[in-house]
Amino acid sequence: MTKGKKSGDAPKKAPGAPVGAGAEMRQGAGGETHQVAGGDVVTLTTAQGAPVADDQNTLRYGARGPALLEDFHFREKIFHFDHERIPERVVHARGYGAHGYFELTDSLADVTRADIFQRVGERTPAFVRFSTVAGSKGSFDLARDVRGFAVKLYTKEGNWDLVGNNIPVFFIQDAIKFPDMVHAVKPAPDREFPQAQSAHDNFWDFISLTPESLHMIMWVMSDRAIPRSFRFMEGFGVHTFRFLDADGHSTFVKFHWKPKKRLQSVVWNEAVKINGADPDFHRRDLWDAITSGDFPEWELGVQLFDQAFADTFTFDVLDPTKLIPEEELPVRIVGRLVLDRVVDNFFAETEQVAFCTQNVPPGIDFSNDPLLQGRNFSYLDTQLKRLGSPNFTHIPINAPKCPMAHFQQDGHMAMRNPIGRANYEPNSWGAAGGPREDPVRGFRSFAAEETGPKTRLRPESFADHYSQARQFLISQTPIEQKHIGDAITFELSKVERPDIRARLVSHLRHIDEHLAATVANGLGLPLPEPAKAARPTITGLPPSEALSIVKNGPDSFAGRKFGILLTDGADAALFDALVAAADKEKAVHEIVAPKIGGVTLSDGRAVAAQQKIDGGPSVLFDAVAVIASPEGAALLAGDAAAKDFVTDAFAHCKFIGYAEEAIALFDKAGLTADLDEACIVLETESDVQDFVQACRALRFWDREAKVDLDAKA
């Protein structure tokens, strides 16, 4: 069993390093060998022509030490990657943001001098940008993808950018591999497709040769990668950071954002259809929630631990492909993040906001996580290309809200310059000479003592690639496990090369034999031999309930949306009861009708529609109801979009309420014989109350076995 801090670990051969520059066999990241297509391998060089010995690891001071500035290969590689998109972000191009505040609820003054964590009840202005990673700025919202969760906190001692994701781990262990990972998932350079999708040969070729990615793959192939809303997903700082107190004492910390309305995702078939019906689904949801006064809220939690815990933890706390289970190290809730204001101008704020992981106030510091070390270099460099100037901090959305004073001057689009004669430091001009260092209040790094050779080696404590992937899988409910198997099978079904499919399945055998067999069967693929593993899988890690969406779902329907399909002559009392119950639940409802002008109810009242039936499919809603007159039901029964409305809701395991007259629509849609306990007939106000309460479960997963071929295989 590998322990965390291993300063004495024997370095391991760089994962993925070729056996020989001209050989036809290469060594993969897990130690396995594989055939290289095309015969002799051309030697990899820098842009200056220097041959590269190791393209898998940054140069560090010791295997677990900090990255070194002299690593010209890493700097050239990440520099070029940072600048290869004009004008949008290379990754996280499609984003959406909002303003709000962070309020401290539990002081952390005992472990950090960071001003933001000192005074309970104090509010700090915040800006948050959510995003997808792989797609372009014009791609759709419901891609199967990681979601960025970047928080800029305008503290009294400078901006703090907690640039995280909705998944607590990452694909790679070393930042030098980031350009390769992103290139692999982006559209292929020869054909420029597929867009915002990982279901293609390049991505899975890279993943199947990079076993360190397998834990992240379990997350990305789970429903975590298709969230119902930004409001219903978690956020994570990913890396291990440090808190420093006034005496310079260090406490390790990992950051968590937990949504107050709990977790929720969609299913894959639903995501595909949402992208067609409303590619701005997540954007619209966030905008509508804030402008209606239903302000999204998250709790900030921290996992705090010392060196002794790091030394005894099963995995290395510097490895960004690993997490610390909450059952093993509880999350302490210390504050809340509330988004209460939309932007005034998308470009000026959401598009121009610049996040840098290096932006931390005094009292917060970095660990030697090699991915974090590389990000600290990369993000600042990226802003120069994207925003065109080193003066991007002069843009209001990026400017600190605390006093600032420095000697930086000039440059493209400088909005302010030092005042007076002195533009250098030290100087002897006294008070007129400008700002001076403050050894007491100023930022100080942790005084770590490092040992080891200057080297490009991955520590042995990073070598277990499968154990936490297995732990994530067994922490899911059966329906969530099924969705992971479905997703991997679907993605690999889009891969043209059989050897790539087989290679990936060979890794799955180290995670779970049933999962590997399920995917192989779904592909019509003979079960391959297990891949060579650098470390055997630890099969005794316990499940963690915190990793399941279903186990952490809401206990109410608050913040969710009903779709009410109405026709002329619909029962007015039934409609009123449903709207009243939805309002009491603090849910939202939209009227879907044959015409956008709306309908006339049984009591003669006109009700406006928000959606026309062929523009308001059931995928846009969390639960649906059909209230129709006999004549209206007959009309709907002849409409393909109306039949899709109920068949999709049924296929996606949603709760369906219906007036008895709507049976005519269910008959024509072929559903009548399959209606189950989650399809609730609405005759009385009591029925309506029962329906709304049932909807709190969000999905009736028992139905999936009836509607999914894979569930019957």
Residue tagged active-site, from 159, 165, 202, 376 = 165
87 burial type by CB count under 10 A (0-12 exposed, 13-18 middle, 19+ buried): exposed
Distance CA 682, CA 688 (A): 6
Residue 630, CB half-sphere, CA atoms under 13 Å: how many? 0
Residue 456, annotated as binding a ligand: no
Residue 60, annotated as binding a ligand: no
DSSP-derived secondary structure letter, 349: I
3-state secondary structure of 267: coil
3-state secondary structure of 603: coil
Q: Which value, in Å, is the radius of gyration of the alpha carbons in the chain?
A: 27
Match 């026709």 to its residue by tokens: 567
Residue 379, annotated as binding a ligand: yes
Residue 386, annotated as binding a ligand: yes
Position 533: which residue type?
A
In 141-188, DSSP assigns E strands to 147-155, 158-165
Task: Please give the structure tokens belonging to residue 88.
Answer: 């949008």
Residue 242, annotated as binding a ligand: no
Match 């260092």 to its residue by tokens: 437
Distance CA 631, CA 636 (A): 9
Match 């969609």 to its residue by tokens: 266
Distance CA 317, CA 326 (A): 14
Q: Return the H-helix or E-strand segment holding 82.
A: helix 72-82
Task: Please give the structure tokens belonging to residue 281.
Answer: 């689904």
Contact call for residues 146 and 167 (beta carbons, < 8 A): yes
Residue tagged active-site, from 57, 73, 92, 159 = 92
First-to-last C-alpha distance (Å) of the chain = 37
Distance CA 56, CA 181 (A): 11
DSSP-derived secondary structure letter, 278: -
Alpha helices in 512-652 (DSSP H): 513-523, 572-584, 630-637, 640-651
3-state secondary structure of 72: helix
Task: Please give the structure tokens belonging to residue 247.
Answer: 């005496």
Task: Please give the structure tokens belonging to residue 452.
Answer: 């080891």
Alpha helices in 497-571 (DSSP H): 498-511, 513-523
Distance CA 422, CA 302 (A): 43
Query: Is 249 annotated in the active site?
Result: no
3-state secondary structure of 527: coil
Distance CA 536, CA 538 (A): 6
3-state secondary structure of 537: coil
Query: Taking the C-alpha atoms of 319, 323, 328 and 329 in order, what is their torsion angle to the nearest 10 degrees?
Result: 90
Distance CA 379, CA 151 (A): 14
Spatial CA neighbour of 245 closest among 448, 449, 446: 446
Query: Is 165 annotated in the active site?
Result: yes
Task: Please give the structure tokens belonging to residue 141.
Answer: 């919202």
Q: Compute how many other C-beta atoms are within 10 angstroms of the C-beta atom of residue 86.
A: 7
Spatial CA neighbour of 335 closest among 260, 251, 224: 260
Q: CA angle at residue 156 from 153 to 158, to 5 degrees?
A: 60
Distance CA 15, CA 32 (A): 10
Distance CA 461, CA 2 (A): 6
Residue 392, annotated as binding a ligand: no
Residue 499, CB half-sphere, CA atoms under 13 Å: how many? 8
Q: Return the H-helix or E-strand segment holding 35.
A: strand 33-35
Q: CA angle at residue 73 from 68 to 74, to 5 degrees?
A: 60
Spatial CA neighbour of 448 closest among 630, 665, 244: 244
Parallel, antiparallel, or unpaired: how do β-strands 623-627 and 656-658 relate? parallel
Binding residues for heme: 89, 129, 178, 375, 379, 386
Catalytic residues: 92, 165
